[in-house]
Amino acid sequence: MNKSRFFRIFISYIVVVFLLSIFVLSFITHLIKDQYLNNKIENMTNISLIIQETIKRYIELEDWHELDLFVKEINQQTETRISVINPDGRVIAESLKDFQEMESHRNRPEIRAALQGEKSHTVRYSTTAREDMLYVSSPIFAEGSIIAVLRLSIFIDKMQHILNRTRNTILLIALLMILLSFGISYYISKRLTIPTQKLVQAFDKVSEGNLETRILVHQEEPEIKELADRFNKMTEQLKKFVKNISLQTEELETIISTIDSGIVLLDKKGEIILSNKYFKEYFSSYKMTGKYFWEVIRDGRLNEQVSELIEKKKSFTTEIELSEKYYLCTGTYIDKKNKSVLIFHDITRSRKLTQVKKDLIDNISHELRTPLTSIKGYTETMEGATDKEREKYIQIIKRNTERLISMVDDLLSLSELEDKGGKMQIEKVNLEEIMENMRKIFEPAIKKKQLRLNFNIQADIPEIEADSYKIEQMLINLIDNAIKYTEKGEINILVELTTASKVKIEVTDTGIGIKKEELESIFERFYVVNKARSRQYGGTGLGLSIVKHIVMLHKGEIEIDSQLGVGTRLAVILPVQQP
């Protein structure tokens, strides 16, 4: 009877251990799989919400190239494949392949669901990537209509690898426990009541997801202690596996935190609960977690929109100016999390470029209007003029026409330097020969104004690596400017070595000079010191801009000194050898 009871207990113990091991293996595997998938789906959904407004703007502009570059950049930062599909199924942006070569995606299940206005996720085989992938898709709305579908996807082979490794480890531990139980069952069966109860309770806690569970036994129970140690080791391993999955989630958060745009997450009260490095660096140097958003950024209009976002779930996109920088701020409400996300994209450079373009157009229009108006006026005046007057008017028209041609030529030169500036015909350039050419070119102008043109070229000046045409163009502009703004005296040109690797070309005149406050502006397009004198000699205000670009192309430097009524010194320092 006792023996039968012993064997029943023995067999029951073995069966319990086996069943519990299988149960834990199945439960933990399923738990890890579900947790992994849910975390990935949630993360991908959050990424979708964060980038959706930006994608929407590119779609409205129909800028498919920039949209494709944007999704490829997000792919590099998040390791998530991103596709944007038109309602007709055409792929307009793809981070994995060339979107122009991809087939229609209209019949993909996740695309069909999104076109019905639903967010969806599915796991299926990708014919493009030739692997199983997890897909998360969502519609992009504009004025109540679906304008595109945003689909994010990741490979799930890594997840399967983790699950297989976890399952094998748990199975190995379970098998070890079962094998060990045969050896110690005889001893622990006699003292089964309390130790067995502890063990069953511990397994129950693990099955509920409590991986902090440990079994503690006294030294006088060595047979139970060994089994407890094995159990504790198993739970420790499970804890490590779950921690690894958590670390992957943290890695994604780290990637988001390093995105080159300010990102801040607010709770339902408007308190900051998460912000990335960019936001902290540019908006506050102090700890901001736990502070209200309007305590960090004091902008009435923006704070009003953020309040509406939190209270009315009303998304917005607006431009703001903070600390002399311009930002495109996008606010999005996350329903499932009851939280709000704000993204600050720095558009300062874009705004400045827009202003530069506007100023350039204004300047060109202004500069062209004067000679064109003059030409039109004198042309009309010629209708009733005498032959002698017509000759005078023709000369004026001719002078204004030449000024227009000169201005267009300078604009073309400047445009070529800016658009194709990196392309130079580098060769060995003899500065002495170029200076001799300059002497011949400007000899008539010097004689006409009764000036002196002096050249001081240091002996043994080495040949420099440069574009000879651009160097001549630079010197022509410098010397021409000096002659225009000098009525008496001389113009001195100095060429010397400043170091073994640099050559200085210095042009000094005894002209009208430049005010100190104007020195920083003389290299701007259409900037002239004396507009009346510039128009008299056909100046366009572009010469020094061309000089500046040529010097920059040659990795050189410009120095300028001037005194009103005394003269101007402008020096160009060029490297002997191009880096």
Q: 21, 189 in Cβ contact below 8 A?
A: no
What share of residues in the chain are helix, strand, coil (percent, to 5)? 55, 20, 25
Nearest-angstrom CA–CA distance, 137 and 149: 7
CA distance readout (Å), 377 to 158, 361, 369, 391, 490: 78, 24, 12, 15, 38
For 169, residues 6+ apart whose C-beta sits below 8 A from its C-beta are: 237, 241
Note the pLDDT of residue 105: 82
For 416, residues 6+ apart whose C-beta sits below 8 A from its C-beta are: none
- pLDDT by residue for the chain (579 residues), tens only, comes to 344 445 666 677 667 767 776 776 677 777 777 777 888 888 888 888 888 888 888 888 888 888 888 888 888 888 888 888 888 888 888 888 887 778 888 888 888 888 888 888 888 777 666 777 888 888 988 887 888 888 888 877 766 777 677 777 777 776 776 677 666 665 655 555 555 566 666 777 766 767 667 666 655 456 667 777 777 777 777 777 777 877 776 776 676 666 777 788 888 888 887 777 777 777 765 566 777 787 778 778 888 888 888 888 888 888 888 777 888 888 888 887 788 888 888 887 777 766 656 655 655 665 566 566 666 666 766 766 666 767 766 776 776 676 666 666 656 665 665 555 556 778 888 888 888 888 888 888 888 888 999 988 888 888 888 888 788 888 888 888 888 888 888 999 999 988 888 999 999 998 888 777 776 666 665 555 544 444 444 445 566 777 888 888 888 888 888 888 888 898 888 998 887
Determine the residue type at 241: F
Q: What is the CA radius of gyration of the chain?
A: 39
For 443, residues 6+ apart whose C-beta sits below 8 A from its C-beta are: 453
- E strand or H helix at 273: strand 272-275
Q: 203, 24 in Cβ contact below 8 A?
A: yes
Within 10 A of 297 (CB to CB), how many other CB atoms are there? Answer: 21
Ordered domains of the chain (ranges, CATH) = 2-30+160-254 (no CATH), 64-159 (3.30.450.20), 260-346 (3.30.450.20), 421-575 (3.30.565.10)
Note the pLDDT of residue 506: 92
DSSP 275: E
264: helix, coil or strand?
strand
pTM: 0.38
Q: 574, 503 in Cβ contact below 8 A?
A: yes
Instruction: Pick the closest to residue 45 from 136, 148, 162 (CA basis).
Output: 136
Instruction: Pick the closest to residue 302 from 339, 342, 351 (CA basis).
Output: 342
Which token pair is 359?
Answer: 């100023």
Residues, the chain: 579
